[in-house]
Structure 1
Amino acid sequence: MNAALPALATILMWSSLALLTDRISHLPPLLSVGLVLTVCGLAGAVRLRHWKVSPATWLVGVGGIFGYHFLLFAAFGRAPAVEANMIQYLWPLFIVLFTPLFLPGHRLTPGHLLGAALGLAGAGLIVTGGRLGLRMEYLPGYLCALGAAVIWACYSLGTKRLPPFPSSAVGGFCLVSGLLSLALHFATDGPGPAPSSGDWLIVLLLGCGPMGAAFYTWDAAMKRGDPRMIGALAYLTPMLSTLLLVAVNGRPFTVLHGAAVVLVTGGAVVGSLDSLRPLFANLCAGRRRAWAGSSARPRK
């Protein structure tokens, strides 16, 4: 449960990520990413002394955070938000599938492979729109979303292979990633449109919540727990996120999207049954002990 609590806190914060990023998708992706990550990094600078980590840790941290968020914002600017959101949320499934590659001794089972097939079927349903042909006008956005999913899974697992470092160092990763994004934006796009006051409010909300505190709770969860179980829990996020997009932003939610949610979520659960089974066994054992204890008490 030590890992489940920060994981659930992260899930609650990340459920608002797509809703907020969709509202500033009119800004250049590099500008959006740069502003938000810089806000997060500056807020985390109060723990500056914890940023002294190895060069390899900096490389993995900056590469993962910068790469994921740049592709995420690019996806929302090039494809419908609901569809891009569902595709990029393949990363929990990728965490399950990539675990044996990063953590020797964690083998894949037929359940993992079946889960992968279900998840890919759900993503394919979104990409094709239920037709045989791809919706080519949105293909760049779909590829950006898929790339974001792969990068975040590799970053999350890669941190477990690095020498131990404090979660506070994530603030440094964010600040460097944000400044890098802003530098690339001004070098390639020029100044561009100035954010409005409403845009700045969204930037601050993102930098303090789903792209701020959530990084620290996620890092703590990955360090404490089994990544396969955390990957399964993380699939609560796309359901909450998609429902928020539909309810608040008025995005269309069709039967096709509903089927994709079921397939992708079901794939993650099936693919993580082996890691969830011990948790259920412990819960059942605890209930049996409590029942036995209450039955053994003398009745008045």
Structure 2
Amino acid sequence: MPTRSQPASPAPGGRMISPTAIGAFALLLWATLPLLTAQARRLPPFELLALSFGVAFLMGLPWLVLPTRAAPAGRQPGSRGRAWLLAFGAIFLYHALYFYAFAVIPPAEAGLLAYLWPLLMVLFSALAPGGSLGRRQVAAAVLGFLGTLLIVGGAPRGRRRPRRRAGRPAWCWVTWRRCRVR
């Protein structure tokens, strides 16, 4: 049930959608992204990106035609457009790098590299005003990175592959971290 602090979102038909339902749907989409991306590996990364954004646009189209609420007082003119552009650009770049990662390295390694952003959020939160890191956070981060190096750096069945192929997709978690820690 929506509260004053968390109002429900209007659906295209005028019905209200609970924040819990929206969050559950987002988690479902997020959980299926690696599986569906691994299944679509034969598609070129930018074609997959275009198809994904096309489906997302079609799903969000009903909300575009809804009337918007009044802007809160004190918001600078044009800030909504800049925020939208930044968010769209970050999400576009993240998913382009994510789909590229799944195209060039094995899915398990790509997923591991792509989901290092929570670790980076912990580390870079120390740079925020009033932020600090304790010994446990630093130790956990070092262990997390060492574990990632062991998993990604090890060559499967004695086969060697260029390490730079695994390094390029790692930029998707840097992109996501940059977007989230402000």
TM-score by length of 1: 0.45
Q: Indicate if the aligned counterparts of 2:155 and 2:161 stay in contact, CA closer than 8 A.
A: no
> SS at 1:136's partner residue?
coil
CA apart distance, 1:7: 6.4
Corresponding position of 2:144: 119
Decide which of 76, 85, 107 is 1:81's aligned counterpart: 107
Give the count of matched residue pairs. 153
> SS at 1:54's partner residue?
helix
Structure 1, gaps ≥5 residues long: 159-300
Corresponding position of 2:173: 149
d(CA) in 1 for partners of 2:35, 2:87: 25
CA apart distance, 1:10: 4.1
d(CA) in 2 for partners of 1:64, 1:108: 26
> SS at 1:72's partner residue?
helix
Report the AA paired with residue 74 of structure 1. Y
Structure 2, gaps ≥5 residues long: 7-19, 70-77
Corresponding position of 1:129: 154
RMSD: 3.1
Q: Deviations over 1:51-70 (max 9, x none)?
A: 98534312320221011100
Q: Indicate if the aligned counterparts of 2:98 and 2:172 stay in contact, CA closer than 8 A.
A: yes
d(CA) in 1 for partners of 2:118, 2:134: 17
Larger helix fraction of residues: 1
d(CA) in 2 for partners of 1:149, 1:59: 19
CA apart distance, 1:126: 1.8
Report the AA paired with residue 150 of structure 1. V
Corresponding position of 2:11: none
d(CA) in 2 for partners of 1:14, 1:25: 17
The reply on whether 1:60 has 2:86 as its aligned counterpart is yes
d(CA) in 1 for partners of 2:163, 2:107: 11
Q: Deviations over 1:188-208 (max 9, x none)?
A: xxxxxxxxxxxxxxxxxxxxx
Of structures 1 and 2, the one with the larger relative CO (CA 8 A, separation 6+) is: 1
In 2 relative to 1, CA 50–116 (structure 1 residues): closer, same or farther, beyond 3 Å? farther
CA apart distance, 1:83: 1.1
CA apart distance, 1:43: 1.5
In 2 relative to 1, CA 124–150 (structure 1 residues): closer, same or farther, beyond 3 Å? same
Percent identical residues: 34
